[in-house]
Amino acid sequence: MADGGLAGIAVSLHQPDGKLIELHLLKSPLLNNPSVKFPVKGNDRIGKISYDPHSERVYINDKQYFEGISRELWEYYIGSYQVLEKWLKDRRERVLSLDEINHYFKIVMAIKNTIEIQSEINKMYLKIENKITKVSEEID
């Protein structure tokens, strides 16, 4: 540990914390430019919900859909809940307001950014594991 590498990595693990908190509270500026679209006009009523992985569309009824949702985003779970599907199912037979449509955009972007940050954290843990292994070998 003479190089201070573990301490530096430990400090860098705190950086994603603030980003994740802002994302999960839907207050992050990363949510302001959604890559998701809701392009088809209609009655905005949630009926049968389905996902088409080829077009990356989440249909809320026979005609309307959210577009730009990868399979990874659609299949993202927190606990036992598939987040994007659960949010829509909780609103089945309701007409979505513009605020609710924009809220769904934010949820999608929060998940997208969360996945990216989780990947960064996983890489940091791998670095820590490698440093610990190296230090352990030096001690032996």
Pairing of strands 77-78, 50-52: unpaired
Q: Which helix (H) or strand (E) holds 133?
A: helix 98-139
Dist. CA 10–CA 6, nearest whole Å: 6
Q: pLDDT for 46-101, tens place per residue?
A: 999 999 999 999 999 999 999 999 999 999 999 999 999 999 999 999 999 999 99
Structure token pair of residue 93: 């037979």
- Cα–Cα distances (Å) from 136 to 2, 109, 129, 139, in that order, read 13, 40, 10, 5
- The per-residue pLDDT for 8 is 53
Domain ranges of the chain: 5-139
Whether the CB-CB separation of 76 and 82 falls below 8 Å is answered with yes
DSSP H helical ranges for 25-97: 71-74, 83-89
Pick 70 or 10 by higher pLDDT.
Answer: 70
**Could you tell me the pLDDT band of residue 111, with boundaries at 50, 70 and 90?**
very high
Name the range with the highest mean pLDDT among 6-15, 105-114, 131-140: 105-114
